[in-house]
Structure 1
Amino acid sequence: MNVQPLSIVFALIAGLVLAGILGWIRRPRLVVFVPRLFSHSSISDKGQIAEISVMNRGFKTEENVELSLNPLLHFELVGSNNPDATLSRAKLSIPRIGSADDCSVLLQVENGRFSKDDIVSCLSKETKAVVATKLEEVPVTAQQRVGVILFIGAGLLFAFGAIKGIDYYVEKEFGTARGTDESKKTQGWTVLPVYADRDNAIFAAFADGKLRIGTNISTVRRDSADIPFIIENNSSMPLTIDLGITAAAPQDGIAYEKRHVNDKLLLPGDSTTEVLTVALPKEAARRTAVVEVFLSTPSGETLKATRLLGAVDLGVKP
């Protein structure tokens, strides 16, 4: 599989996702909201006071904002938090509204009752405003959207780091099944992944050939085989060895001590030959045996490995 096209595809997808997020953050958002209507006014016996807020929830400053109201009603500007806001008949003009800012006005309304339906339109140089009838319909500011993205990103990074940390701990403490065959196969033996670590002195000696465990010519009888195991310790560590063998045939007819070697001490520079006896099935195709070895040092390091002996290893004739 060619990795380069996949990298290009992933880069394009990442670019599209990033562009989408930036577009979502930078999209203009102009909102008209009527927070309060006052049915009684001291200015006019027949009038009504309406508070209208024009909010900029986008990243850019909105310019030339014009709010058009119902021309059948009469409006007068009573007050505003923006000194540049002006009212001409039924049109409110606001030169600019900064990002995350708003322009709120109080209008005296006569010739009828005011409602949100009397908001005809609200346009700026960049966009058209939407009318929100409830406070929860007002979108968050661009800065708040950036904060949400950063919070989600930080959460994802934290989760990724936690997963990688757990994965590293599990791999270091318990081994991993993702190791290569080279890291687990040594001298024909399969070393369990938890022990296949160069920091393990026994595995390092085993992998470097300073510790050798091999077989010699077997003596095969009709229902069993005697298999010599030659163990050489050319490392600097004293080793305690446990060795056992089994096969598909019942092993009850062979004494335990003939099938196992327990607590055999092998000092640095020493070697030993241990003969194990195993009962074999009558069928030639099933005449295989499984050997298991367990090594340990006085300092507490251990190693466990297994090996499958086939007909050739056992000296069984086809």
Structure 2
Amino acid sequence: MLAFHSDAHSLALPPGHRFPQSKYRLLREHFEREPGLLRMQPAPAAAEDELLLAHTPDYVAAVLSGTLSAAQQREIGFPWSPSMAERSRRSVGASIAAARAALAEGVAANMAGGTHHAYADKGSGYCVFNDVAVAARLMQVAWARQHRHLLGVLVIDLDVHQGNGTAAIFRDDDSVFTFSMHGEKNFPFRKEPGDLDVGLPDGCGDAEYLAALDEALATVWRRCQPGLAFYLAGADPHEGDRLGRLKLTHAGLAERDRRVLTALRERGIPVALSMAGGYGHDLSTTVAAQVSTLKLAADSWAAIARGTG
């Protein structure tokens, strides 16, 4: 399975910053020690005209030129630097590449991404550009040129935080169905209505979570027949996450991924994964959850390749 990484471009963060950027390097290094499952490639940088498919010209220019205001940088949570801008472009580029690969092969992954708090005109919550929104728009443009009709897109967002930026970008777009299942009382505290939102109580465990997921997916399949899916497989619903407030075990997260990937494979829907959030008290728990997600995605890719999907 193709998987695209962008961790070579680091953030210039001050000491004690809460964003765990090392998790992306640790994830890549795990699969370098365990070759054969992933065909890992460095992510290309998204072009400016590609970013403009989902973001306003003024905002894109401010990020790329380094003219974000102090207030804009505070809302994003990162100080601006050339490496911050380059990392953000490559995180989007990874989702673009994964989406293209998914349409060709069935399953592919961005080993970072899932920056769903970024709006068209601003960043927020450690999200600069909205990688899924840009990739979805670009795939639709390319699909329309080749097939003369619009590609329907599904966003399955199972990060513990609601995908507010994604919901806002696609609010009036019937061609993109946004589904988010998240902690109801967690950030963002003002939710943006998507096509399907499922808010969960603090302390929600495996059984309650999986039951809610099954019910929600049944609703999705009644309302949506997409040609491409983006799956934000956040590790932050895990019980060991310092920001998540839910209580999923590793087994519960794996079953979540298995159910989503199986449902997509059975329906013949290509899927591009993003790793989204994960802020473990012990970062190794976050990396372990993301390793599991990528292994299950690789299994799904292999089943498609064998013709047994």
- Normalised-by-shorter TM-score class: under 0.3
Relative to total residues, which structure has the larger strand share, 1 or 2? Answer: 1
Relative to total residues, which structure has the larger helix share, 1 or 2? Answer: 2
Q: Which has the larger radius of gyration?
A: 1
User: Structure 1 length normalisation: TM-score?
Assistant: 0.23
